[in-house]
Each structure stands twice: as C-alpha cells, then as structure tokens.
Amino acid sequence: MAEKTKLWYLQNFNLFEGMSSQMKMELAEKTSDHTSPKKEVIFFPEEASNTIYFLKKGKIKIYRLSEDGKTTTLHLLGPGEIFGEGAILGQDVHDNIAEVVEDALICAVDKHDFMDLMERSPSLSISVNKIIGWRLRKIQAHVEDLVFKNAKQRITSFLHRYIQTFGKKMVDGWMVRPFLTHQEIADLTATARQTVNQVLNELAEDDVIKFSRRFLQLKGDLTLLEE
C-alpha cells in the first residue's frame, strides 16, 4: 500500500491524534498492511508476541479455547482499534487467538519500533495506556455478564454494546451492517445458538429489532435493550 494511503489511515486513528505529522509519517514508513478474509487467524497462543496491530477495516475477535474446545470470546474489535498490545506490556507470547470475523485490512508494526515512538511521544503513550485501561474495563463487564446474568440478559446486553460500538444512529433508531451469525453471537455470549435464535426472534416479534444476515436494525433507543 502506498505510504500516502497508509498515512491517511493512520491520521484517522484516534490513537495517533496527538502525534506530530513527522512522527505519523515515520510510523507509516515502518508499518505493513495486509488484507485478511473472514476466518483467517492472525495469531495463535504461544506464538511470539512481537507485533502491534491496528485494525483499519473489518472486525476481529479475540478469544481463548479451553482444553475441551470451549470458546470464550474476550473482545470484538472494530476499525480504529489496536490489538496485540500485550507485546507492549512485556508479553513474550500470545495467550489468546485473534481471528477475522469480517474481512479486514490490518496494519502491523514491530513492537520495538512502536515502543520507540511511545518513548518519544508522550501523547501516544497516554493514548495507549487509556486503551489498555478501557480494554480491561470491557473484560470486567463481560465477566460480570457471564457471572450475574442469565442467557437472555447476556444476549441483550451484548446487542446493546454491539450496536453502540458498530452501529450508525438513524432518525428512527440504529443500524448495523453486516450482522453476525447466530453462532458467532452464541460464542460471544457463552450461550447456545438455539437460545440466540429464540431471543432474536422474540425481540423481532416485540418489534424491538429487525435483522437478517446483512443487517441489524434497532427500532428505537438503546434503552430498549436494557434489562
């Protein structure tokens, strides 16, 4: 990808707002971009953690697999987000799996190059620390959902966060394109696919949402999904 195009993308990351144009150009020169189709795995557990990734387009899920093959999803990431940040914290190998959920354009930079920029840019260092703190709060909220909420509540809580994160505010509600599969939602909420199907159909029958594989529409305010 042309350096000018890479710079344009980097300039649209909130993470780099406080950086000088010169430092953004330097970062662009040190990054590499690649497109990844749905289902492609970016990294596995125990692989060396030596790269920082910036998601420019698409969606990525970060999850773990238990010994019995059970999936626990920790994050669902969208454009403008960073992942692989454990490398900044001294993590030598990955302990999670990063998989493409929706065709993605990903920017990668060596952790040493990125840490050098952090040392020279206090604003970048502050932004990264804020993102890590925000990520930990999201994990805490997710764990609380799993512990304290029943299956239906976990699904509606997820839909609330999903629409808020990826949706577009419309005159009469919210719209997200495209939508996830029922199995993907089940993995993200630790529920069964049949339960997801039942809850979505109930919400549709109550005229709260309308959905297909191509979109999810919330017919009103996000409070409709609050328990």
Helix extents (H) in 31-150: 111-120, 122-148
CATH 1.10.10.10 location in the chain: 150-225
Q: Enter the CATH code of domain 3-146.
A: 2.60.120.10
User: Could you report the per-residue pLDDT of 11-41, keeping only the tens digit for each?
Assistant: 667 777 778 888 888 888 888 889 999 999 9
Q: How much is the pTM?
A: 0.81
Determine the angle formed by the axes of helices 182-189 and 151-166, rounding to 10 degrees: 110
User: Could you report the per-residue pLDDT of 197-224, keeping only the tens digit for each?
Assistant: 999 999 999 999 999 989 999 999 999 9
Q: Enter the CATH code of domain 150-225.
A: 1.10.10.10
- Residues with Cβ within 8 Å of 59's Cβ and at least 6 positions away in sequence, in order, are 76, 77, 78, 100, 101, 102, 104, 166
> Cis peptide before 178, with omega less than 30 degrees from 0?
yes
Taking alpha carbons only, the member of 185, 158, 191, 162 closest to residue 174 is 162
